[in-house]
Chain A
Amino acid sequence: AQKVTQAQTEISVVEKEDVTLDCVYETRDTTYYLFWYKQPPSGELVFLIRRNSFDEQNEISGRYSWNFQKSTSSFNFTITASQVVDSAVYFCALSEALQGAQKLVFGQGTRLTINP
């Protein structure tokens, strides 16, 4: 069965610090997709990134970067020079094919608080 583990329940840092959110996944599939979503207090899940299992290149988007390592089944997310607006719950998710459709298997989420 697919599983996603986000061991850090809550993280609190001071603004401008760098912070890394960990994500470890389990799957028997050779083809799979991983996602990160951000959920601010407003409730909407905001898509951040999608990575497929054949693309191990790290990705950088502004202050955000992602480190995908198949050897350790990890897909970690780093925010550089954090800002108060980064405060949110962050979910890592794994895509599972189910009856011709797609199911997202979410981790438990990491609540990130950036203090001014």
Chain B
Amino acid sequence: DTEVTQTPKHLVMGMTNKKSLKCEQHMGHRAMYWYKQKAKKPPELMFVYSYEKLSINESVPSRFSPECPNSSLLNLHLHALQPEDSALYLCASSQIRTTSLGGIQYFGAGTRLSVL
């Protein structure tokens, strides 16, 4: 089973709303990732969690707040977003390898976010 489940599939929010995206995996992976993908562009890395600790923040604005409550769950809390934040948000997970390289990232189907 290589399933990563993301909810909700679609989200529309106003600029003053607070919402959360959820990601879940049961593959025993200890690395989890958030990506942002704009139309006709490749995914861009936002955050990486390794062993439930934030290891990479790719200079993401503070209106995006990640959380990893346990090894199976990853949340992305959204507050005061801008219309340009409208995108597909993808979650991925992978095993952690000693060389830090080569782990296969398995992706969820994403949350399509529209900010009005």
Residues of A within 8 A of B (CB): 31-33, 35, 37, 42-47, 50, 52, 91, 95-104, 106-109
Contacts and interface: CB of A to CB of B under 8 A. Distances in A.
Given A101-B50, A102-B94, 10 more contacts: A43-B88, A43-B110, A45-B90, A95-B102, A99-B56, A101-B100, A102-B100, A103-B48, A104-B45, A104-B105
Secondary structure call for the A interface: strand
Interface of B: 2, 31, 40-43, 45, 48, 50, 55-56, 88, 90, 92, 94, 96-97, 99-110, 112
A107 B41 CA distance: 9
B42 A52 contact: no
A103 B99 contact: no
Contacts, number: 77
A10 to B, nearest CB: 10
Main secondary structure of the interface of B (DSSP, over half): loop
A109 B101 contact: no
Nearest to A4: B42
B16 to A, nearest CB: 27
22 contacts: A31-B99, A33-B101, A37-B107, A43-B112, A44-B108, A45-B43, A47-B105, A47-B107, A52-B102, A95-B102, A96-B101, A97-B99, A98-B100, A100-B55, A101-B48, A101-B56, A101-B96, A101-B100, A102-B100, A102-B101, A102-B102, A107-B42
Contacts of B88: 43
A58 B37 CA distance: 31
A49 B50 CA distance: 23
B36 to A, nearest CB: 12
Given A33-B102, A106-B43, A109-B42, A99 B55 contact: yes
B55 A101 contact: yes
Contacts of A106: 42-43
Contacts of B41: 108-109
B112 to A, nearest CB: 7
Nearest to B48: A101
B88 to A, nearest CB: 6
A83 B74 CA distance: 36
A50 B104 CA distance: 7
